[in-house]
Structure 1
Amino acid sequence: MRIPVGRWRPRTAHVAASPWWRGAAAVVAGALPALAFPAPSLWWWAYLALVPWMLLIRTAPTWRRAALDGWLGGLGFMLAVHHWLMPSLHVFILLLAALLGLLWAPWGPLVRLMLSGVPSRARAAAALAVVPSGWLMVELVRSWEGLGGPWGLLGASQWQVPPALRVASLGGVWLVSLLVVAVNTAVTLLVSVRALRPTAVAGLLVCAVAMGAAAWWVPAPQPAGQVRIAVVQPGVLNGVGGAERRFARAEELTRELAGRQDVDLVVWGESSVGADLTARPAYTARLAALSRQVGAEVLVNVDARRSDRPGIYKSSVLVGPEGTTGDRYDKMRLVPFGEYVPFRSVLGWATSVGRAAAEDRRRGEQPVVMTVGERGLRLGPLVCFETAFPDMSRHLVREGAQVLVAQSATSTFQDSWAPGQHASLAALRAAETGRPMVHATLTGVSAVYGPEGERVGAPLGTDRSAAAVYDVPLAAGTTPYVRLGDWAVYAAVLVLASLGAVGAARSVRRRTAPGTPAPRARTARGSPVRPGR
């Protein structure tokens, strides 16, 4: 039987050219990278996940369509990576995703510029640097705290890949993102343009060699002993009196640590104490008694209105056998809508739609490095959302922190991907800084990572109510990322600036080249002046 191909082609072409089809395809393609993050944690998928999106953009018939494909793909990406926020923000998350998705609108034309048609070998080679640099600019802008912070950076999907973690110690999560997008760009060229397959293969080899060279060349952290740190995770507690019941359960679990030798520090999760310790001395006395029983200081997190200044703060407070030690850190970077409402006078209605903060928390003024115990252990505390920011952990290590400690609470999103995603960030911060990181939560996932980002001991999952002791390895030395900072970001800016300079130079040459027809003179009405008239 002969298939009437001619009858089907117009229908297929019509579907492919439909703006609705392209729009839906862009949203789905943009959502695909989410599978590389926990819980699926398909780290290898990150190296292919952008290919469908980029293949779609390179076929865009116009620059405007490419920008639209970039925007819709960005919308899909933000929805997929932050889908666990839906119970809190409801329909408001669609507006946020649409606004943040606009950041990818310029990336669409950039992809089309570098990959459309049959690029020359020079343009294809340049694309391996330009396209990742454009992506990194999007990640950098959306990493601003007011836009939601650096959650879901593509490089963060590689938190369990040792060579990628070594790359992070060289250039931070930013350099890992550049390499991941470069591989996606090379694969896009490989599958779309047959004539450029040698160039694409060469690009893949360069990326592989770069990652291997980083893993071989970057010095490993130098061992410097170890400390024993206990993590107390109360778990999910249903019923009334949540704050007091949570405190009592953490108190009970901490008592179980008594008699265990050489515990240097006990860490409770975020909002583990619901009252100001100055105003409630009974809580301070109970914590001091625990410190004496265990033989170690206790780092708690107070989420309460302070008695010495107006407003509610989230504060890491160190308590010893005699009471508070005077070391206190107030959280500096707050979660938009979760802990404060931006432009509350305009967006205050969000509190009636979802679980937005009824009252804004107050910000701390500066990071703090605490000194713990007789050994003088230098501790760098972070609170929840702050672990997503590479610059904060880097600053603490430059100030002398030997151990990074994050106090977190993701109980609002207990049965979602959020707890696993949050815990995975500690591996990246540890690898970037060459310092171990302890991630302690109220309800899981609590985990500890060594100076190379390697997992230490077994994590406490979201189904656990327990206390666990970890032998945390210490390290000396300074990673290139701590020493040099965000040089990968500056390199990406330089690549894009060079692209702009080349484009401007070509435009000037075209306008001034000999033989270029001069513009025709026009009459006052706009019609050309003809010779002889």
Structure 2
Amino acid sequence: MGAAGRVRRWVARGVALLLGCLLVLAFPAPALWWLAWVGLAPLVVLFARAGSYREAGWRSCLASAGFFLTFFHWVLPQVGLLALAVAVVAAVVWVPFGLLTYQLLREPSPGRVALAGVVLPSVWVSVEVVRSWERLGGPWGILGLTQWQVPPVLDVAALGGMWLLSAVLVAVNVGLAAAALPGVSRAVRFSGAGLAVVVAASALGYGLLRADPAMTGTIRVAGVQAGVIHDPGQRFARHVELTRTVRGRGQDVVVWGQSSMAFDPARRPDTVTLLRETAAAVGSDVLVNVDARGTDGRIRKTAQQYGAGGLVGTYEKRRLVPFGEYVPLRSLLGGLLRDTGIADEDRAPGVEPSILRVGAVRLGPLISYESVFPDLRRELVRRGADVTVVQGSLTSFHGTWAHPVQASAEAIRAVESGRSAVLVELDGTSAAFDARGRRLAWLPPDARGIFVVEVPIHEGSTPYVRWGDWVPATAFVITVATLVLLGSRALLRIRPR
């Protein structure tokens, strides 16, 4: 390859890196949701025109690194030396997608375009599911989450979760890329444009035709967003003070954010008495959140519901934040990460989900990090939850994109589960959405005080709750079948010397 060829190659790699960074703008806080419909198409063209598998791998690596390092820029300062490992993992995430794009679209035909419209979204979703494993940080940066503000499209989540939203977006981008590929036939262009139009129209049509879920009543939820108060005693006192101001506002329950109590009430009878008196004074139960060492010596994060008569119900956080609440392979990594923001002691996970009752209403509680996992909502709905409530806190990432990203994901969770969702942050963006993803409340990170929201109670079950993760299962089958088929064809082409 001559000098000019090398220059063109590195320019293409730089463009791939830049396009990966720009795709992040589809997520909050920029929230340019429309970019998710077209922003991947230029990358598909770059991968398809790479000229070799090696170059397709390079371009996909750089695009992936650009996307993930830009998306997670807010967490990198917290992880110290672990940032290098994050960068390496980020760089390889999109490689399967890039290689198969080159395989399918380097010599496109209408049949190959149709095949790419099935295979590439499946590969993309398979990769998203694998990297969403709780020990890898959970499902952050999932492409489908960008559509939380687009009601007709958002309804697709009720059918197949955020995974189906991602598949729709990738299929449309693949179609647009095929239509824009240089030097292809008119038939290929028509095939690509047709793929994009049919998939987009199907998603919009489903949303427009879907009926509102039946509503059986409402529950008034008061959220307390007190902000960062480092002294445990002052933090608790401030929450009590704010809670008492809701008297007379007709709320059914008051919800505090994650870690609103840094000590175990069971060890302080005076605290339990004050919580009982507060519940009696405001005329409703209070849902607090305890981040403290229990009687067994282990630290747990626990939602505790107090009424005028005392403790009513509890829930222990089951999915813990890797490195934030526990350290995988602590004996190996603990010394390397001692001066970073990692947990100095592993929290103990809970075991079972819980349903908390507020009068006749059944609340499904989750705690912070757990809010991003759709399977936990499905489990709560199957157990009878009428509304899901998340107690959150993002104090380590104040002022970053992490706040609106977590809050906006509640819209997706609400549509997936068919239940209204309420998120109350100690410090972050508190929000509430009904079962169609319509915003009921939005309290920015710098806001302090009380908000009260009338939350609809819905009945019925979405296809996603009934059928579960059928989209990832289908995507895995298609991806594996494609790899087996391509591997078999490669072996058949091998000839003995």
For residues 7 and 268 of structure 2, the distance between their equivalents in structure 1, rounded to whole angstroms, comes to 67
Root-mean-square deviation over aligned CA pairs: 2.0
Match of 2:300 among 313, 316, 331: 313
- The alignment's TM-score, normalised by the length of structure 2, stands at 0.95
Which residue number corresponds to residue 334 of structure 2?
348
Which residue number corresponds to residue 52 of structure 1?
42
Which residue number corresponds to residue 125 of structure 2?
136
Which residue number corresponds to residue 260 of structure 2?
272
2:160–2:463 CA contact under 8 A, matched in 1: yes
Residue 192 of structure 2 aligns to which amino acid in structure 1?
A
For residues 58 and 12 of structure 2, the distance between their equivalents in structure 1, rounded to whole angstroms, comes to 10
- Give the Å deviation of 1:27: 2.8
2:64–2:90 CA contact under 8 A, matched in 1: yes
Name the SS for the 2:34 alignment partner: helix
Where do 1:235-384 residues align within 5 Å?
235-237=227-229, 241-261=230-250, 263-307=251-295, 309-325=296-312, 327-372=313-358, 375-384=359-368
Which residue number corresponds to residue 59 of structure 2?
69
Name the SS for the 1:351 alignment partner: coil
- Give the Å deviation of 1:129: 1.2
* Aligned CA distance change for structure 1 residues 296 and 153 (closer, same or farther; 3 Å): same
Unaligned 5+ runs, structure 1: 1-8, 512-517, 521-533
- The alignment's TM-score, normalised by the length of structure 1, stands at 0.89
2:138 paired with 1:152: no
Residue 95 of structure 1 aligns to which amino acid in structure 2?
A
2:25–2:31 CA contact under 8 A, matched in 1: yes
Percent of aligned pairs sharing the same letter: 41
Which residue number corresponds to residue 5 of structure 1?
none
- Give the Å deviation of 1:266: 0.6
Name the SS for the 1:141 alignment partner: helix
Which residue number corresponds to residue 438 of structure 2?
454
For residues 68 and 235 of structure 2, the distance between their equivalents in structure 1, rounded to whole angstroms, comes to 33
1:382–1:405 CA contact under 8 A, matched in 2: yes
Residue 351 of structure 1 aligns to which amino acid in structure 2?
L
In the TM superposition, what whole-angstrom CA distance separates every residue of 1:495-527 from its partner, at most 9, and x where no partner exists?
Answer: 22442454366557768xxxxxx856xxxxxxx
2:81–2:337 CA contact under 8 A, matched in 1: no
For residues 141 and 454 of structure 1, the distance between their equivalents in structure 2, rounded to whole angstroms, comes to 30
For residues 335 and 60 of structure 2, the distance between their equivalents in structure 1, rounded to whole angstroms, comes to 30
In the TM superposition, what whole-angstrom CA distance separates every residue of 1:227-261 from its partner, at most 9, and x where no partner exists?
Answer: 11100110244xxx522222111111111101223
2:408 paired with 1:424: yes
Match of 1:485 among 468, 477, 492: 468
Residue 447 of structure 2 aligns to which amino acid in structure 1?
R
For residues 269 and 257 of structure 2, the distance between their equivalents in structure 1, rounded to whole angstroms, comes to 20
Q: Which moved more, 1:41-50 or 1:22-31?
A: 22-31
For residues 407 and 318 of structure 1, the distance between their equivalents in structure 2, rounded to whole angstroms, comes to 12
For residues 123 and 133 of structure 2, the distance between their equivalents in structure 1, rounded to whole angstroms, comes to 17
Which residue number corresponds to residue 468 of structure 1?
451
- Give the Å deviation of 1:289: 1.1
Residue 238 of structure 2 aligns to which amino acid in structure 1?
R
In the TM superposition, what whole-angstrom CA distance separates every residue of 1:351-386 from its partner, at most 9, and x where no partner exists?
Answer: 3342111111111111111122xx321111111111
- Give the Å deviation of 1:54: 2.1
- Give the Å deviation of 1:31: 2.1
For residues 203 and 69 of structure 1, the distance between their equivalents in structure 2, rounded to whole angstroms, comes to 25
For residues 6 and 177 of structure 2, the distance between their equivalents in structure 1, rounded to whole angstroms, comes to 24
Residue 239 of structure 2 aligns to which amino acid in structure 1?
A
* Aligned CA distance change for structure 1 residues 61 and 349 (closer, same or farther; 3 Å): farther
Name the SS for the 1:232 alignment partner: strand
2:174–2:196 CA contact under 8 A, matched in 1: no
1:236–1:465 CA contact under 8 A, matched in 2: no
Name the SS for the 2:440 alignment partner: coil
For residues 488 and 217 of structure 1, the distance between their equivalents in structure 2, rounded to whole angstroms, comes to 21
2:1 paired with 1:14: no
1:350–1:356 CA contact under 8 A, matched in 2: no
Match of 1:29 among 7, 19, 41: 19
Residue 284 of structure 2 aligns to which amino acid in structure 1?
A
Residue 153 of structure 1 aligns to which amino acid in structure 2?
I
- Give the Å deviation of 1:111: 1.2
- Give the Å deviation of 1:213: 2.8
- Give the Å deviation of 1:284: 1.5
2:81–2:336 CA contact under 8 A, matched in 1: no
2:214 paired with 1:222: yes
Q: Which moved more, 1:417-426 or 1:216-225?
A: 216-225
Q: Which moved more, 1:221-230 or 1:350-359?
A: 350-359
Which residue number corresponds to residue 419 of structure 2?
435
1:170–1:432 CA contact under 8 A, matched in 2: yes
Residue 496 of structure 1 aligns to which amino acid in structure 2?
T
In the TM superposition, what whole-angstrom CA distance separates every residue of 1:293-326 from its partner, at most 9, and x where no partner exists?
Answer: 111101111000011x23100111111112111x
- Give the Å deviation of 1:489: 1.1
Residue 284 of structure 1 aligns to which amino acid in structure 2?
V
2:219 paired with 1:233: no
Unaligned 5+ runs, structure 2: none
For residues 339 and 219 of structure 1, the distance between their equivalents in structure 2, rounded to whole angstroms, comes to 41
1:409–1:442 CA contact under 8 A, matched in 2: yes
1:291–1:298 CA contact under 8 A, matched in 2: yes
Q: Which moved more, 1:9-18 or 1:184-193?
A: 9-18
Match of 2:385 among 386, 401, 409: 401
For residues 83 and 491 of structure 2, the distance between their equivalents in structure 1, rounded to whole angstroms, comes to 45
For residues 137 and 181 of structure 1, the distance between their equivalents in structure 2, rounded to whole angstroms, comes to 12
For residues 138 and 198 of structure 1, the distance between their equivalents in structure 2, rounded to whole angstroms, comes to 29
Name the SS for the 2:353 alignment partner: coil
Residue 226 of structure 1 aligns to which amino acid in structure 2?
T
Which residue number corresponds to residue 95 of structure 1?
85
Name the SS for the 1:456 alignment partner: strand
Q: Which moved more, 1:59-68 or 1:412-421?
A: 59-68
Which residue number corresponds to residue 208 of structure 1?
200
1:79–1:94 CA contact under 8 A, matched in 2: no
1:167–1:175 CA contact under 8 A, matched in 2: yes
For residues 340 and 101 of structure 1, the distance between their equivalents in structure 2, rounded to whole angstroms, comes to 25
For residues 127 and 479 of structure 1, the distance between their equivalents in structure 2, rounded to whole angstroms, comes to 29
- Give the Å deviation of 1:494: 2.8
Residue 213 of structure 1 aligns to which amino acid in structure 2?
G
- Give the Å deviation of 1:282: 1.8
